[in-house]
Amino acid sequence: MHETTLLLIEVGALLLAMSLLGRLAIRIGLSPIPFYLLLGLAFGNGGLLPFDASEEFFATGAEIGVILLLALLGLEYTAEELVIGLRSSRRAGILDALMNALPGAAFALLLGWGPIAAVALAGVTWVSSSGVIAKLLRDLGRLSNRETPGVLAILVMEDLAMAFYLPVLSALVVGASLVQGAIGVAIAVTIVVVILFLALRHGHVISRFFPAEHAEPLLLGVLGLVMLVAGLAAEVSVSAAVGAFLVGIALSGRVAANASAVLTPLRDLFAAIFFVFFGLATDSSAILSMLLPAAALAALTILTKLISGAYAARRAGVGTLGQWRAGLVLAPRGEFSIVIAGLAVGSGIEPALAPLATGYVLITILAGSFLARLPDAEWFRTAVRRRSAAKRAGLSAAKP
């Protein structure tokens, strides 16, 4: 069979299956993310019927999906809101880094993998998945919730921190000098500062380049700018997702509102492709040997994310239920964790790191997709209210 014909058949079959699974998820009231992941596993490496012809198509689509998820998330907020969120959440960001990076580093050292592998696994457990969490926030209708700016601030700080972390890790795994690593960090940080400056000072000017009232040129122009900036950011070791998010932040007014409307169908398509590709690229047979260690590490770091997310929400004056929502929605790890593990393994650091990271990411995404919905359950809300009332009663009784 011709390769193009096979590609069309595989893509068509997967899209139809995604549609059916999406309808099933809606009917039973769950996020479709776990279903998309399991579909990818079923037809990926080591699956029931491996789909090879469509892998490259889905790899490109997955990258576009993450970029669009973050770009449209940026369109929901202004540059001023971003700066305020980053300032108010800086302590939470430091706590988030310490509480979630240290368990990964300690785990690698306990397994005897050495200090460089410890630095790599620290990154795997530290950074939450912006793509997964952006979709969860949208699916659960929480974009306007009080705790969401704090969640986004932590995600942005983590992604920005990758501008420092990835060049340093790259230098470590290839044995490069500290000077080379410092140059890479300086270039990455300069790019981020330039993009932030343009978004804050000249966002209104950038918006004037796009015709808010004409859908087609608006779609093409905004999509082109988003992908151009994302690509340039990735070229200098800054997250492409951060570049896309900052473009969204820079646009304002009717341009932002109308761009969000015309880009939403594209985002929905490519975001779904991102999750299916994650499963397709995973060798389900290889992760079985590391499933128990991955589950133990996932359980520990889901708890630490809960603590750091709740702390960020509490500092923003959010109530107890909102603190639970903020902590639980941060559980999924994703694209950065896989990139970090691939970088380390590709340099011959520790081969077992790849299946551990893959199993870990799958567990956190699957568990996080369900845990994020817990605060919406009536029994959970009732339990939180009772606990809060009991705590208030105890404090009142303790007063003289």
Query: How is 240-283 classified by DSSP, letter by letter?
Result: HHHHHHHHHHH--HHHHHHHHHHHHHHHHHHHHHHHHHHHHTS-
| Summary mean pLDDT of the chain | 81
The pLDDT value given to residue 163: 64
Residue 219: count of CB within 10 angstroms of its CB: 18
* Residue 285 pLDDT exceeds 80: no
Given pLDDT bands bounded at 50, 70 and 90, which one contains residue 346? low
Complete domains list, the chain, with CATH: 3-373 (1.20.1530.20)
C-alpha closest to that of 200 among 156, 235, 252: 252
Burial 184-201 (b: 16+ CB within 10 A, else e): bbebbbebbeebbebbbe
The pLDDT value given to residue 291: 87
Distances (CA, A) of 397 to 60, 319, 390, 394: 61, 22, 10, 5
Higher pLDDT, 186 or 291: 291
Given pLDDT bands bounded at 50, 70 and 90, which one contains residue 310? very high
> What's the rounded Cα separation, in Å, for the pair 386 and 381?
9
Higher pLDDT, 171 or 311: 311
Tell me if 287 sits within 8 A of 295, measured CB to CB: no
For residues 4-23, average pLDDT: 88
The percent of residues in the chain predicted with pLDDT above 70, rounded, is 83
Given pLDDT bands bounded at 50, 70 and 90, which one contains residue 256? confident
For residues 329-353, average pLDDT: 78
Tell me if 352 sits within 8 A of 290, measured CB to CB: yes
At residue 399, φ and ψ (nearest 5 deg) are -75, 140
The pLDDT value given to residue 176: 53
Bridge partners of residue 333, in order along the sequence: 128
At residue 395, φ and ψ (nearest 5 deg) are -70, -40
Tell me if 25 sits within 8 A of 32, measured CB to CB: yes
Residue 57 burial (C-beta neighbours within 10 Å; 0-12, 13-18, 19+): middle
Of 7-16, 82-91, 210-219, 295-304, give the range with the top mean pLDDT.
295-304
Helical H runs in the chain? 3-28, 33-42, 55-75, 79-88, 90-110, 115-126, 130-139, 148-174, 178-207, 215-235, 240-250, 253-280, 291-315, 320-329, 335-346, 353-371, 378-398
pTM of the model: 0.72
Given pLDDT bands bounded at 50, 70 and 90, which one contains residue 330? very high
The pLDDT value given to residue 180: 62
The pLDDT value given to residue 46: 65
* Residue 183 pLDDT exceeds 90: no
Higher pLDDT, 103 or 172: 103
Tell me the per-residue pLDDT of 68-93, one tens digit each, with 9 for 90 and over. Answer: 877 887 787 666 666 776 677 788 88
* Residue 195 pLDDT exceeds 60: yes
